[in-house]
Structure 1
Amino acid sequence: MAQIIARGFAVGTAKLLIHQSSGVGVRDYTALAEKASRVVEDLTGLELDLPSFAIEGVDRRGWAEHNIDSYAALIERLTPPNRPGSAGMAELNAVALGGLLGSFAGKVLGQYDPAFAISSPAIWMVDENIDHFAHRAQLDADEVALWVLVHELTHRAQFHAVGWFRERLLALMTQLFTASTISPIDLLGEVFARLRGLSSSQSV
């Protein structure tokens, strides 16, 4: 199968769009994960299996690079092997993907990846955005991080508790990509556009 995403182009495009804060570190989420996991398990009654997935503090660029790798692998997996490619398409797809992720990198506080394409589930906490949000709202940054982590761990509990959920979503995505006549990156763009519209309609 021809290459679908040229990673270097995607990373370069994303970095052009990302405003990087200076001097912002990332948290060690070991203790915070223990605290947040107790909250989720006590309230939901669901198990998280905390040692089975990673929780990592990242900056905006780190979040974008994680997602570039994840989405590129997912698109590669879902694209039918007989779908024709053309010269320069991998680079164009990469610029589109990098642009989408670069535009979102300053907004995301945390994300659970259920490992649709990566080897194991992971939670990425965007400490740059958490600290910026906390400062702007005059809140304690560690309390905001705890709130975000509880939210992401709840997603983990949902996926972990319903074993068929991940495979069912993968099957539906496979059907969508197989039936569609537009490129995978265009489909991904449509998803991002809908998410952007939803986010705008809910802002205050």
Structure 2
Amino acid sequence: MIDWNVAVQTGTRLVRPGPQVGQAEAREVVAQLRELSRIAQGHVAEFTGMQAEASPAPATIVDRPGWIRANVDGFRVVLEPLMEQMAERRGTGLLGGGAGVVVQAVGSRVTGMQVGAILAYMASRVLGQYELFLPPDPSGRAPTGRLTLVAPNIVQVEKELGVDARDFRLWVCLHEETHRAQFTGVSWLREYVQDQMTQFLLASDLDPGALLDRLRDAADAIADAVRGGDSSLIDAIQTPEQREILDRLTAVMTLVEGHGDYVMDAVGPEVVPSVQQIRARFQRRREGGTRMDKTIRRLLGIDMKMRQYAEGSRFVHRVVAEVGMEGFNRVWDSAETLPTHAEIKEPALWMDRVLGPRAIEAANPDGRTSPDGRTSEADGA
């Protein structure tokens, strides 16, 4: 279904070059990012109270083509077993016989080119990520999970923003190390996310008529996005069952992204002295861009991810303000204590369901209230 070699070739050919730096500066950036990733581990553990893996490896530092190759490796780990299952379910009805083999081969190359083009666009934007399924292990026994930082993108953004380089690099590391703490410190979280992704992909409707409907919806979404609407390809191609699964996936990813955003800002100016300046300038950059760039972001669902950062951060801020970090960390107890999409938008619903009114009152014995009238241990929650 996807020719991964074509995806890598297309992506690495189309990706824009990063900022030009000398070899000495490049080596210094790589060394400092590795050092700062280790420093960030300690700050995240102390601030969040999460018990992550005992001796985590330093971050893996890559360039833009390296990020593309890493993502293709991760996609293959997740998607190839699912594609085999989907092919078995599909049987020979849609692509049977010798002609079907030819059509499938051509289609896989086209899809590989499409994936490569998307990765080329994303490779110049991503600062870092925690890769759940790398390094790949065919046996399934070795531990997986790798923190990756894209050095040229970090250097480019810090220069565009005109901020202190060390502060910005540590700020980015704090966000990504929070993701490492989440997925190594919460034993069930990785499996939960992978299971939801598996269900989402297997819920694809393979009926030819339904596929044509999805294609028409995708075309409408593209037209709407070009006109400035809010449509995205992700929404357009979903089946009804996938929409339910995606709602759960979106809720958990909003939580983990918002938690990362909250931690990177809340660790404090004693760790990142210029954090307020960095956040203000970075937020303006997030919201900017050309009309074409904004259209692509809407189509690929990047704007939705930006909303996840904001909604998730508000949820974490509100809950920590109400019940403290220990109370907030109840979100990691099990899949049942994760907030729903509705609860992220209204944290009081989650606190009432998981913690109960008594726990909230016990956390706020002085009876101070937040702006919406609920008791709070901190003003302005």
TM-score bin (small chain) = 0.7 to 0.9
1:115 alignment counterpart: 133
Where in structure 2 are the equivalents of 1:80-159 lying within 5 Å?
A: 80=85, 81-82=87-88, 83=90, 86-115=104-133, 118-119=136-137, 120-159=144-183
Query: Is 1:190 matched with 2:229?
Result: no
RMSD across aligned positions (CA): 2.7
Task: Name the CA distance, whole Å, in 1 between partners of 2:178 and 2:39.
Answer: 13
- The higher-RCO structure (CA 8 Å, 6+ apart) is 1
4, 9, 12: which one aligns with 1:7: 4
Per-residue CA deviations over 1:86-109 (Å, capped at 9, x if unaligned) read 232321221121111111111111
Structure 1 residues 57, 142: closer, same or farther in 2, change over 3 A? farther
Contact 2:35 2:58 in 1 (8 A): no
User: 2:125 aligns to what SS in structure 1?
Assistant: coil
Gaps of 5+ in 2: 96-103, 138-143, 216-232, 236-296, 309-381
Task: Name the CA distance, whole Å, in 2 between partners of 1:172 and 1:30.
Answer: 32
154, 175, 187: which one aligns with 1:163: 187
Amino acid at match of 1:55: A
User: 2:148 aligns to what SS in structure 1?
Assistant: strand
Q: Is the helix fraction higher in 1 or 2?
A: 2
Query: Is 1:49 matched with 2:67?
Result: no
TM-score (norm 2): 0.46
Structure 1 residues 200, 111: closer, same or farther in 2, change over 3 A? closer
TM-score (norm 1): 0.82
Query: CA shift at 1:146, angstroms?
Result: 1.0
Contact 1:37 1:50 in 2 (8 A): no
Mean CA deviation greater in 16-25 or 124-133: 16-25
Contact 1:5 1:72 in 2 (8 A): no
User: 1:125 aligns to what SS in structure 2?
Assistant: strand
1:23 alignment counterpart: 21
Task: Name the CA distance, whole Å, in 2 between partners of 1:55 and 1:93.
Answer: 31
Amino acid at match of 2:5: G
Amino acid at match of 2:3: A
Task: Name the CA distance, whole Å, in 2 between partners of 1:42 and 1:174.
Answer: 34
Mean CA deviation greater in 159-168 or 18-27: 18-27
Task: Name the CA distance, whole Å, in 2 between partners of 1:115 and 1:54.
Answer: 17
Contact 2:78 2:133 in 1 (8 A): no
Per-residue CA deviations over 1:30-65 (Å, capped at 9, x if unaligned) read 421221111101100112326345511111111111
Task: Name the CA distance, whole Å, in 2 between partners of 1:90 and 1:148.
Answer: 36
Gaps of 5+ in 1: none
